[in-house]
Amino acid sequence: MAKTSIKKYNTFSGVFIPTFLTIIGVILYLRLGYVVGNAGILGTLLIILISVSITFCTALSISSIITEIKVGPGGAYSIIYKTLGKDIAGSVGIPFYFAQAFSVAFYVFGFSEAWTYIFPNHPFLLVLIITFILLFLLTYITTSFAIKTQIIIFIIILLSIASVFLGNGLWFTKELSVPLFGNFQEMNFWSVFALFFPAVTGILAGIGLSGVLKNPKKQIRRGVLSAIGITTLIYIAVAVWFGFSASADQLIENTRIMIGLSAFGPLVLLGLLSATFSSALVSFVAAPRLLRALANHKLIPFSSYFRKTTKKGEPRIANLFTSLIIITTFTLGSLNIIAPILTVLFLIIYIVINLAILIKQTRESFKPTFKIPRIIPLYGVISSVIIIFLISVVSGIIALVSISLIYIILAGINDTR
């Protein structure tokens, strides 16, 4: 019986585009102005650079590790599994799966915010439900269709960003409208940081399709690092644009001020809708694949069901279960509530990824073709731990205890087998 071939993707469509679209999403359009209004120009740049420094170090760690292992489905989970073993991978993979599912709800909230701005008579809850159903159908039918859709969205976003910089006249010749360092009217520095940080977690979406890449060892490094560089420049440029275009009070009070200040508002609205929808789409594609990877290693209940796929490799049952998780997450109520939860979850993933390469670097057998100094993953670990507890000591303790309990349970299950 002939095997059904599964389509493989190149660096641009399989890594760069998912990473770019997840980073240039809801935060850029709906919350970056709010961040600038609270933190000022220098405060915002500091938040961006701290965030990017952590993700950049983690991306370098990932790029080094994958040259030594065979990368399969599951992205970051696959990397942790093959470097630190089943128990640790499961203890992190399960929270990571929930983070991916929560991300879908996060982006759907952003999309619904934008839609109800255009059509204020449309009930927010109805928009939320219809958006979710459309996303579900796109990911349930085929991943290929979802990825093809992203190319169009990518072009729309580029045009919308161009419209932003062409708006508000010669904005770069005006006086700065916000203080260099803000007075944090609504939130303290680390609360603002927690709100912003989900913007840069797209590096994990970029490796989420590792199982369907032609050459993941090279493609992940090239695609993720180039996406980080380009999107960082965009965030810095837009933050500066906000600083010259509106006062701190205006940026805080009107989270959609970018639309009115741009050269062509409807194009920015289209970009906003496209960005939030595409980010949800990327996470919705990646989450079921992570669940399937966990099931393949029998780390979750009902693994025999969640590991099943169609002839084309689509994890339909995992997709259905993920949909239930997303629907449950909607009950949290808003984008601002989900953001800090996502920040802590993703920082924990970064800690473990960087720990993985630190451990590998102590072994003489570890000879990656892409080498990095130990200071890079060490910085990734230390900075992530510190920031988790600066954001919320309680959340940090709960997260670390939860992961430890999952590890103990998994270790006990494996010992009895």
C-alpha closest to that of 17 among 265, 222, 269: 222
Is residue 1 pLDDT above 60, yes or no? no
Is residue 147 pLDDT above 70, yes or no? no
pLDDT of residue 50: 97
247-273 pLDDT, tens digit per residue, is 999 999 998 899 888 999 899 999 999
C-alpha closest to that of 77 among 90, 66, 67, 68: 90
DSSP string, 117-164: HH-TTS-HHHHHHHHHHHHHHHHHH-HHHHHHHHHHHHHHHHHHHHHH
pLDDT of residue 144: 65
Q: How far apart are CA 411 and CA 408, in angstroms?
A: 5
Coil, helix or strand at residue 85: coil
* Residues whose CB is less than 8 angstroms from the CB of residue 238 and which lie 6 or more positions away in sequence, other chains included: 28, 32, 161, 164
Q: How far apart are CA 238 and CA 168, in angstroms?
A: 13
C-alpha closest to that of 96 among 354, 366, 349: 349
* Residues whose CB is less than 8 angstroms from the CB of residue 22 and which lie 6 or more positions away in sequence, other chains included: 201, 202, 205, 206, 278, 279, 282, 283
380-412 pLDDT, tens digit per residue, is 999 999 999 888 888 778 877 877 777 777 666
Is residue 151 pLDDT above 80, yes or no? yes
pLDDT of residue 92: 78
> Helices (DSSP H) in 246-264: which residue ranges?
248-253, 257-261
Strand partners, 213: 9
> Which residue would you say has higher pLDDT here, 91 or 390?
390
Contact between 54 and 260 under an 8 Å Cβ cutoff? The reply is: no
218-242 pLDDT, tens digit per residue, is 888 999 999 999 999 999 999 999 9
Is residue 124 pLDDT above 70, yes or no? yes
Strand partners, 9: 213
Q: How far apart are CA 111 and CA 360, in angstroms?
A: 41
pLDDT of residue 408: 76
Contact between 144 and 7 under an 8 Å Cβ cutoff? The reply is: yes
Q: How far apart are CA 52 and CA 235, in angstroms?
A: 10
Q: How far apart are CA 368 and CA 351, in angstroms?
A: 20
Given pLDDT bands bounded at 50, 70 and 90, which one contains residue 377? very high
Is residue 417 pLDDT above 60, yes or no? no
Question: In the CATH scheme, what architecture does the domain 11-416 have?
Answer: Up-down Bundle (1.20)
Percent above pLDDT 70 for the chain: 92
- Written as six digits, the tokens of 244 are 């010259």
Q: Mean per-residue pLDDT for 16-45?
A: 92
pLDDT of residue 46: 97
pLDDT of residue 142: 64
How deeply is 108 buried, as exposed, middle or buried, from its count of CB atoms within 10 A (0-12, 13-18, 19+)?
buried
Helices 375-391 and 189-196, axial angle in degrees (round to 10):
120
281-303 pLDDT, tens digit per residue, is 878 888 888 888 888 888 888 88
C-alpha closest to that of 52 among 216, 235, 184, 279: 235
Parse the chain into domains and list their residue ranges: 11-416
> Which residue would you say has higher pLDDT here, 275 or 413?
275
Q: Mean per-residue pLDDT for 70-92?
A: 75
Given pLDDT bands bounded at 50, 70 and 90, which one contains residue 145? low
74 φ/ψ sector (left φ>0, alpha ψ -120 to 50, else beta): left
CA 112 vs. chain centroid, Å, equals 19
Contact between 179 and 42 under an 8 Å Cβ cutoff? The reply is: no
What letter does residue 15 receive in the DSSP assignment? I
Is residue 125 pLDDT above 60, yes or no? yes
Q: How far apart are CA 206 and CA 209, in angstroms?
A: 7
